Structure 1
């Protein structure tokens, strides 16, 4: 009887030890998987969209715009040509629809927070589409850069997501006070922010 008890005890001890080792291996695998998952969650992909601007309102203004989302910010690089020399406004408008000859198919300024029109960052308020003014040189060329954490691309937040909107370049300067759009004149160039 003692032999059977000792043998049974040894068999149970071996089985228990084996189960314990398997559990440790599974726990180790789970820990590794969790670490990989956490690394993926923390790592943010860079998203970029590039598109051309077409001339509107019988102008010769064209160009290309690139939006890049990285580390919680969206940056814009616009390279423009064919403009008249001087100051012009650039805005984000409501719809990525450049089908009309005057660019008005894009709707008004993108204003998801229902603020008055104004200069970016103004205490009195501003549209999230109120990028601002830039100056074209004597050859009609200009480069515009802009960056903000108030935009996103494809995040689904109606108050931040610029996908499905449009870039409009205007004939004149934005005065930052006239409502609802800054009296910037005709829409001379248009491009949809679409994937």
Structure 2
């Protein structure tokens, strides 16, 4: 009888040990993290994470002042695929045709605005669209001011950019300027189209 009791106790102990072993194994299985397969990012996703480099100003607003240092208008400059679009809106100007140029210095010291220097000309070209070796990068179409002294015009300067680091950048070396002259630009006379005095100036950048 005692032998039979010992046998039963031994069998019970085996069951208990087996149950504990299964429990420990189950806990280990739950605690062990399952390795997830690595997901490779596509080139497009990697590119999206990279910070974009700002190489150009999207838009710039230029304030235009006359020889009496009075504000007479604005010019909005915007980088495009074809160059820099210039949207001009000005008033209180003499009626008629006026030369309009980008000058090489970001200085507009009244009353003569000679501080703006010559035309912006990074390629050392001749002045004027009618010259065989022209135009300057800073040569722009003439402005037609109405009898009421206002002008609203929009055109693209194809030989310049707002991108930094470019030789034809309007923001290089401190910036440039916009200048309106008293007379029309004849498109060929050197060095500035015989357009007369500078009557309006506005700094680009600088």
- The residue number in structure 1 matching 2:138 is 129
Q: Considering only CA atoms, is the larger Rg found in Structure 1 or Structure 2?
A: 2
TM-score relative to the length of structure 1: 0.75
Q: Is the 1:52–1:63 Cα contact (8 Å) retained in structure 2? A: yes
- Residues 79-131 of structure 1: CA deviation (Å, up to 9, x unaligned): 121111110011000111002420100001111110110127x6431100100
Shift of 1:32: 5.6
1:84 matches 2:94:
yes
Residue correspondences, number? 170
Asked if structure 2 preserves the Cα contact closer than 8 Å seen for 1:73 and 1:150, the reply is: yes
CA apart distance, 1:143: 1.5
Alignment of 1:144 with 2:156, yes or no, is no
Does residue 104 (structure 1) correspond to residue 114 (structure 2)? The answer is: yes
Alpha-carbon distance in 2 for matches of 1:175, 1:61: 27
Match of 2:177 among 136, 161, 166: 166
2:197 to 164, 167, 186: 186
**Which ranges of 4 or more aligned residues in structure 1 deviate by more than 6 Å?**
43-46
Question: Equivalents in 2 of 1:127, 1:116: separation in Å?
Answer: 6
TM-score by length of 2: 0.71
Contact 2:140 2:157 in 1 (8 A): no
Is residue 52 of structure 1 aligned with residue 63 of structure 2? yes
Structure 2, unpaired ranges of 5+: 1-33
Residue 6 of structure 1 corresponds to none
Once the two structures are superposed, residues 155-185 of structure 1 have per-residue CA deviations (whole angstroms, 9 ceiling, x without a partner) of 2212x20120000000000011210000101
